[in-house]
Amino acid sequence: MSRGATNIKPNVESLILTMAWENPNEPRALTAIKIAEAIDKMGEISPAEDTLKKMISAARNNKNPEDEPWCLGTLKYNTLPIESLSAVLNVYKLCLAGEIPLTIREAKWVARLHTIISDTTTLWSWAWVYARRERACEAMKKPKGVLRKPIDTSALDAALVMNEWELATARWTDMIELPDAATEWTLSRPAHTHISSSKFAAENAERFIWAPLLGQQVGTGGRIPLGSSLPLAPLEELNLTEEAEWIYTYWLNYLRHGPKWSSLSAKEIVDTILVLRGWITNHPWLKKPNEAKPLLLWMDPAKLSKEHDFMPTTLLKKVGYEVKPTKEGRHERAHSQAQSGSEGKAPVQG
């Protein structure tokens, strides 16, 4: 059952807007189907498909400078407290590893919340939720008789200072109502205070690879069953330093965008990850962390790779990158977005 654009409840409108923004390059028809299913799970009535498509287009065409990527240069026009920059840069690094941009709006929420939440991954999750809520409130229709659109974060504020039991009780007793199902899912995830940001990023990079492999054949062990993880030892067993975990994440992300990655079998992908893990684990700079590293930015890349094993050359070639020294002393990387395809970006997942 569906209805038109009139009399759409605020929580339904909020869900439509946020889901429209999550995958901006996804076809409207597919996004509309997903939104209708999410609304149905909420026990609400979904607008008609044509209405949803129009609302999706309007949401995506509603550009705001605050939703552009953040960097220190944006501080000229979007200032943040100096004392918050360390926390913002830590979240920025986490977003880089997750291949998603930190927006100016999200950076502002990181700056507002960093004194309350110390863990970087948890801080990022909350800032993302608050930024989504603020953006949705700005885009929602203004209630009659209201001169200025309210930015209502009251439910999030309550959830911020409650534990899981309190939050569940507060919802059941109608003390608070979360704005939409997506926010409810985000806040229901456990905090990540038990792992470092670098390990979280590395696990997230593996998760991007693991999800499409479910149900595929992996060697003599048969297929990867739904709901399982890759047949790999937990990352913590590798005893990597935080620096090594970040580097592992960067290379793993780069490999999965290789021109030939999509043609690899599940077994070949698992083998690639195992080889990369071994390369990182046995890297001389990990074995001797106190040994002075060369000036990486100024060394000839060909010499750097040959003498210091700087890049996993064999794996790069395996996934389709052409790695060879040029006359300028740099490496040529024959890689185009058209060859590798572009994958949808998603917030860091827990």
Comparing 42-56, 102-116, 315-329, the range with the smallest average pLDDT is 315-329
Within a domain: residue 270?
Answer: yes
Same domain, yes or no: 53 and 75: no
Select from 11, 38, 61 the last residue of a domain.
61
In the chain, what percentage of residues exceed pLDDT 90?
Answer: 33
Within a domain: residue 349?
Answer: no
Same domain, yes or no: 274 and 308: yes
Same domain, yes or no: 19 and 105: no
Per the model's pLDDT, the better-predicted residue between 99 and 300 turns out to be 99
Q: Which helix (H) or strand (E) holds 2?
A: strand 2-3
Same domain, yes or no: 234 and 332: yes
CA triple 164-170-174, angle to 5 deg: 145
Within a domain: residue 348?
Answer: no
Same domain, yes or no: 136 and 162: yes
334 pLDDT tier (thresholds 50, 70, 90):
very low
Q: Is the pLDDT of residue 148 over 70?
A: no
Q: Are the CB atoms for 56 and 32 separated by under 8 Å?
A: yes
Round to whole Å and give the CA distance between 127 and 186.
11
Same domain, yes or no: 323 and 213: yes
Q: Give the type of residue at 104.
A: I
pLDDT tens per residue, range 185-213? 555 554 545 678 999 899 888 888 877 76
Paired tokens of 194: 């038990």
Same domain, yes or no: 212 and 122: no
Q: What is the extent of the structural domain holding 315?
A: 197-340
pLDDT number for residue 141: 66
Q: Is the pLDDT of residue 261 over 90?
A: yes
pLDDT number for residue 292: 56
Select from 61, 90, 110 the last residue of a domain.
61
pLDDT number for residue 336: 41
Within a domain: residue 297?
Answer: yes
Same domain, yes or no: 211 and 300: yes
Comparing 89-103, 138-152, 229-243, the range with the smallest average pLDDT is 138-152
Paired tokens of 173: 């007793």
Within a domain: residue 250?
Answer: yes
Round to whole Å and give the CA distance between 38 and 180.
10
Within a domain: residue 350?
Answer: no
Mean pLDDT over the full length of the chain: 78
Q: Which of 205-214, 220-229, 236-245, 282-291 has the largest mean confidence?
A: 236-245
pLDDT number for residue 181: 55
pLDDT number for residue 79: 95
Select from 188, 219, 243 the last residue of a domain.
188
pLDDT number for residue 111: 97
pLDDT number for residue 345: 43
How many domains, in total, are found in the chain?
Answer: 3
Per the model's pLDDT, the better-predicted residue between 81 and 294 turns out to be 81
Same domain, yes or no: 317 and 240: yes
Q: Which residues contact 223 (CB under 8 A, 6 or more apart)?
A: 215, 216, 217
222 pLDDT tier (thresholds 50, 70, 90):
very low
Comparing 165-179, 191-205, 213-227, the range with the smallest average pLDDT is 213-227
pLDDT number for residue 279: 93
Q: Is the pLDDT of residue 255 over 70?
A: yes
Q: Give the type of residue at 80.
A: L
Helix, strand, coil percentages for the chain (3-state, nearest 5)? 55, 5, 40
What one-character DSSP code corresponds to residue 25?
T
Same domain, yes or no: 203 and 178: no
pLDDT tens per residue, range 291-333? 656 566 556 666 666 656 678 989 999 999 987 654 444 444 4
Q: Which of 143, 139, 141, 116 is nearest to 127 (CA)?
A: 116
Within a domain: residue 346?
Answer: no
Q: Are the CB atoms for 167 and 188 separated by under 8 Å?
A: no
Same domain, yes or no: 27 and 71: no
Beta strands 331-333 and 323-325, pairing class: antiparallel
Q: Which of 81-90, 144-153, 164-173, 320-329 has the largest mean confidence?
A: 81-90
Same domain, yes or no: 160 and 26: no
Within a domain: residue 50?
Answer: yes
Give Cα 124 distance to the centre of its chain.
10
